[in-house]
DNA sequence: ATGGCTCGCTCCGCGAGA
């Protein structure tokens, strides 16, 4: 099974790029983030005409996730509430950042982790609280799906210093690279998940996002923040995980580029 | 350097992104 993740920064603006990429790269699952559109206005037809099923959880202007799949999914749900309950989740499902379904007995999840704004801002603490919910959510689903779980998405966290183009200070206050965010991610991975990309590639300078400003892509000033995390059965089975930088070269690209895992 | 691009918005300047 091939699973791709891609923060497209508006599916309507990026529609042709994404559909053309999918025709050239016929993956089984494409997880999208930052679709930035309500479900009623999601451009489903181009994907359906290409032979895909479309599952969406969107909102106006911000956030929004989708799963595009060759075979139908079962047990599709959105947000944390169906698993954790309304009391635990509170207002955290108002922002549409999580969609999941089951394919071939494997739990597939796509997430758009909050950006976090400035260091120690309200958005920063919202991000940490959201990651704590994600940890509780995955703790439950990993136990329910011993055959395999794959969580993919824009995590907005640089896991290690080699995953960003500049020198990281030990107590970095740069959102996405702070100790508290990395610790939150590590607590999640300790549940039994591993970074698929690092099974195959130990190089530095392997990025998935480049700022639109300052010619960051041309200067190779990027961050690796889009990830596939696999439970042990899938991690053992995984045969490749690659970053496809080709779409970042196109005219009017997303600032992120797709990452594809095969298992 | 609270900049630098690009997105959507009952749009023509602003908040958000990372």
Tokens linked to A120: 């120690």
What pLDDT is stored for residue A208 in this prediction? 98
Write out which nucleotides of chain B lie closer than 7 A to a protein Cβ.
2, 4-10, 15-18
Q: How far is CA A73 from CA A27, A105, A174, A189, A239, in A?
A: 14, 10, 38, 25, 23
Q: Is the dihedral of CA A233, A6, A45, A16 positive or negative?
A: negative
For nucleic chain B, give residues with Cβ below 7 angstroms from it: A 7, 9-10, 12-13, 34, 36-37, 60-62, 114-118, 123, 154, 156, 175-176, 209, 211-214, 223, 225, 252, 255-256
pTM, two decimal places: 0.98
Q: How far is CA A174 from CA A46, A155, A237, in A?
A: 39, 15, 35
Strand partners, A241: A261
Q: How far is CA A208 from CA A40, A61, A122, in A?
A: 29, 23, 26
Q: pLDDT per residue over A37-87, tens digit each?
A: 999 999 999 999 999 999 999 999 999 999 999 999 999 999 999 999 999
- Structure-token match 């998405």, residue found: A153
Query: Average of pLDDT values for A23-33?
Result: 98
What pLDDT is stored for residue A30 in this prediction? 98
Nucleotide nearest to A212 (CA to C1'): B5
Query: Average of pLDDT values for A115-131?
Result: 96
Distance from CA(A32) to C1'(B10), angstroms, rounded: 27
Q: How confident is the model at residue A148 (pLDDT cuts 50, 70, 90)?
A: very high
Contact criterion met (CB below 8 Å) for A51 and A45? no
Residue positions of A annotated with a catalytic role: 112, 154
């Amino acid at each position: 099974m091939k699973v791709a993740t891609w923060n497209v920064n508006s599916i309507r603006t990026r529609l042709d790029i994404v559909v053309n990429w999918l025709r050239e790269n016929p993956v089984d699952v494409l997880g999208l983030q930052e679709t930035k559109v309500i479900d009623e206005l999601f451009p489903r037809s181009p994907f359906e005409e290409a032979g895909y099923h479309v599952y969406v959880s969107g909102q106006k202007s911000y956030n929004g996730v989708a799963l595009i799949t060759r075979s139908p999914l079962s047990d599709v749900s959105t947000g944390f509430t169906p698993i954790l309950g309304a009391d635990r989740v509170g207002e955290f499902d108002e922002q549409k950042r999580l969609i999941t379904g089951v394919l071939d007995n494997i739990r597939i999840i796509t997430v758009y982790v909050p950006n976090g704004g400035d260091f120690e801002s309200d958005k920063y603490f919202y991000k940490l609280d959201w990651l704590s919910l994600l940890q509780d959510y995955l703790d439950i689903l990993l136990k329910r799906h011993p055959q395999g779980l794959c969580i993919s998405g824009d995590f907005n966290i640089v896991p290690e210093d080699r995953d960003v183009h500049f020198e990281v200070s030990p107590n970095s206050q740069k959102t996405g690279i702070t100790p508290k965010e990395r610790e939150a991610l590590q607590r999640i991975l300790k549940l039994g998940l591993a970074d698929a990309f690092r099974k195959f590639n130990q190089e530095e300078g392997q990025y998935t996002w480049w700022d639109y400003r300052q010619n960051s892509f041309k200067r190779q000033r990027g961050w690796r923040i889009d990830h596939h995390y696999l439970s042990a059965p899938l991690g053992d089975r995984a045969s490749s995980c690659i970053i496809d930088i080709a779409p970042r070269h196109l005219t009017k690209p997303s600032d992120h580029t797709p990452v594809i895992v095969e298992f």
